Chains A and B, each alone.
Chain A
Amino acid sequence: MIARIRAAHRVTGMAQGGMTENNDPLVRFESVQKSYDGETLVVKDLNLDVARGEFLTMLGPSGSGKTTCLMMLAGFEPATHGEIYLDNAPINNVPPHKRGIGMVFQNYALFPHMTVAENLAFPLEVRKAPKSEIEARVKKALDMVQLGTFGNRRPAQLSGGQQQRVAVARALVFDPVLVLMDEPLGALDKQLREQMQYEIKHIHENLGVTVVYVTHDQSEALTMSNRVAVFNDGVIQQLAPPDVLYERPDNAFVAQFIGENNTLVGDIKEVNGDNVTVDVNGSIITALNVNTEGVGSKTTLSIRPERVAVNPSNEGDYQNVFKAKVEELIYLGDHIRTRASVCGDDEFVVKIANASALAAINEGTEVTFGWKAEDCRALDA
């Protein structure tokens, strides 16, 4: 039956991308609070819906409460306050083994005394599935992660990437509606990590299973997710698809945490329409009013490095044009990272493509930077 529900949602849910409007979420956190010591809240009033078939990532620095949320959902930590619903049923009092949620752990947690096949058979055995079905399912799961011939090996005889695949297969072999992943790629090297990101993404797309994924690696979150919930200090700072998160951050934390970002701090002089005029160390900058408290308040301006034009030929296209002094050049192959001082800030970074004629800029020279008001977001201080 579960498989049928899933299949149905694969058809309706997946293609739409953002599924926030689905009025029948698979998981719902309702005013969930969590404290370990009774003095500080690790999770402060969390409200979150996870749609069926969605790949939702909880992203945040360590200690931001994301793993705690995952553990509450898995049933290993009780919620101090509030209720969590799975399939519209409250699960606060359901023990972990009855929730039917697959989970991939940070260090895989493969059972070292069992072979790979025994590891995969374990969830089926405890559900008392018939032997023939266990064999068939284990084989199918191994084939899914391209480890068909590795059934008789012990986990210790596999490489990190192979162990990772076994862990994913084990979390999926009993057809759960929901799979939780707790920084599953943290122990892999960079290249393997990127490869596994695509593999997990493809498995998610092929099976249509709902995934809640926890990571502190923003590029991982952007690559894999339908939506990303950015956690900080026990609160979701922004919940949005990756492109929105990157291009239209709601607040200074998200802008800073996702991707590379230049921040300029100043006072708001004037508000006119969608734009504000901001005084940054004496320079007047026009920016998009996103999240400010009106004239006289402080604001943080966020500008992506790739949205800054260097020595623009048509300065009239840019509301903001300033002289800048090149402080440092870092050669990165495909582009040159250029640190400059502009508007009294000497940590301002732009990226210059290696192919452009500008690649010949030297340290200490003076250049012109220009950016549009819409690419410069005025956020909370």
Chain B
Amino acid sequence: MSEQLTTVDGRPLKAALASAERSKRIRAVLLVMPLFIFIFFSFLYPIALMLYRSVENPLIAQHMPETVAVLEDWDGNEVPGEEAFAALAKDLVVARESREIGKVATRLNFETPGLRSVITGSARSAGKWEPPYKEKFIDRRKEWGELATWATIKRLSPTITSVNYLAAVDRQYSVDGEIQMIGEDYQIYVDLFLRTLWMSVVVTVSCLILGFPIAYMLASLPLRHSNLLMILVLLPFWTSLLVRTTSWIVLLQTQGVLNDIMVWTGIIDDAQRIQLIFNAQGTVIAMTQILLPFMVLPLYSVMKTIPPSYLRAAESLGAHRFLAFWRIYVPNTLPGVGAGCLLVFILAIGYYITPALVGGQDGQMISNMIAFHMQKSLNWGLAAALGGILLVGVIILYWLYNKLVGIDRLKLG
């Protein structure tokens, strides 16, 4: 094929094809442009921004420039000299005047709890001091005489940092720069991640166990009956999430409907009412109910495509009804099972409202912690790092599914 193909009038065929198809292509691009712009600004850009925030760290470099410059050459083996304290004093005074000192103090406090008052207190006094500063600083707060304080400042000097991600997995830099576990009392995130994963697995499996028979029934009933049932499955979609979650509180609380019935029928004693909500199992129950449609719908759409003649064929070939179901029907539902599980699991690990309302202490999930850092502690860097880890987890799951089942076999409806 060395000879280049041309049109009748001698133009290269490829060029002719491209120009012939151009207007079609331009129209296609214009049609998807609104959606693309929307997705870009409401989805891709915020995610990129979040991921950037999880590693950016401009505060210290911006508001303590002198100190950062001096500490650049500091070896970290002993408390730095007068030069560093002079720079610190200058920075603190400037930062206090520009009213930025609070942010700096907060940032340092995230890293080493207790530093807030050290910074703000010292900043108040520093304006009145004359050089030499070292003694005065250490007199004011003994922390200035400790290596850890200076190590913290030096560690936060670079504008790009990994401390947020380390904090998100309960780790930190030691004074000499090694990565180590933080104190046992402060370790929460790894456990929380594991608990989030575990609860999501339990919710997914519960949805599958409950959803499979429903979907099977929907797929095998005549259309007029299955339509009615389908409405019952979809009904939760049309009800506010908040209403559904709070109804579970009414049902499951210790003075609630379910406990009342059990006491009334004598299954349990009045004194032994079971705590069903405001804990992990309450969260699992409520989330299972809320996420059930996401399991039923993909299962149903796959089961609808399985001809009933498969089961009949298996039976006519000598397989008992149950064996036929297990060997022939179930394997053909796997794309739906995969899609449903993936969907429910991904929704579950990022779930926020339900655990927040009915989770109590041990029903909290990682998203509740992210929300806490967004709204209460204002440690957006850490919130972004936690979110980033969650995102990577979901992407890995998606990749695994693609590897094992194939994303082209995913059927959502």
Contact = CB atoms under 8 A, between A and B. Distances in A.
Interface in B147-187: none
A323 interface: no
B312 A127 contact: no
Interface string A102-113: 110111011111
Interface in B298-343: 307, 309-310, 312-321, 323-324, 327-328, 331-332
B303 to A, nearest CB: 14
Contacts of A76: 312, 315
Interface residues of B, number: 19
Contacts of B327: 122
B314 to A, nearest CB: 7
Contacts of B320: 95, 97, 126
Contacts of B314: 111, 122
B310 A109 contact: yes
A109 B307 contact: yes
Given A107-B307, A109-B309, A102 B316 contact: yes
A55 interface: no
B313 A113 contact: no
A174 B310 contact: no
Interface residues of A, number: 28
B378 to A, nearest CB: 53
A113 B312 contact: no
A96 interface: yes
B138 to A, nearest CB: 75
Interface string A162-174: 0000000011001
A97 B309 contact: no
A13 interface: no
A126 B317 contact: yes
Given A107-B309, A109-B307, A109-B310, A97 B328 contact: no
Contact of B316 (A103, A106, A110, A127): A103
A180 B309 CA distance: 14
Contacts of A106: 309
Contacts of B328: 111
A19 interface: no
Contacts, number: 69
Nearest to A76: B312
Contacts of A103: 312-313, 316-317
B309 A126 contact: no
Contact of B309 (A102, A105, A171): A105
Contact of B332 (A101, A107, A113, A180): A113
B313 A109 contact: yes
Contacts of A102: 316-317
Nearest to B319: A126
A170 B309 CA distance: 14
A123 interface: yes
A126 B310 contact: no
Contacts of B321: 95, 97
Contact of A174 (B309, B313, B318): B318
A96 B309 contact: no
B323 A126 contact: yes
Given A106-B309, A107-B309, A109-B309, A174 B317 contact: yes
Interface centre among A102, A111, A170 (most CB of B within 10 A): A111
A312 interface: no
Contacts of A95: 315, 320-321
B315 A97 contact: yes
Contacts of B332: 111-113
B318 A126 contact: yes
Contact of A122 (B307, B309, B319, B331): B319
Interface of B: 307, 309-310, 312-321, 323-324, 327-328, 331-332
Given A96-B315, A126-B317, 20 more contacts: A75-B315, A95-B321, A97-B315, A97-B316, A97-B318, A97-B320, A97-B324, A102-B316, A102-B317, A103-B312, A103-B313, A107-B307, A109-B313, A111-B332, A122-B314, A122-B327, A123-B317, A127-B318, A174-B318, A180-B316
28 contacts: A74-B316, A76-B312, A95-B315, A95-B320, A96-B312, A97-B315, A97-B316, A97-B319, A97-B320, A97-B321, A98-B318, A103-B312, A103-B316, A103-B317, A105-B309, A106-B309, A107-B309, A109-B313, A111-B310, A111-B314, A113-B331, A113-B332, A122-B319, A123-B319, A126-B319, A170-B317, A171-B317, A174-B318
5 nearest CB pairs, A to B: A123-B317, A109-B313, A103-B316, A109-B309, A96-B315
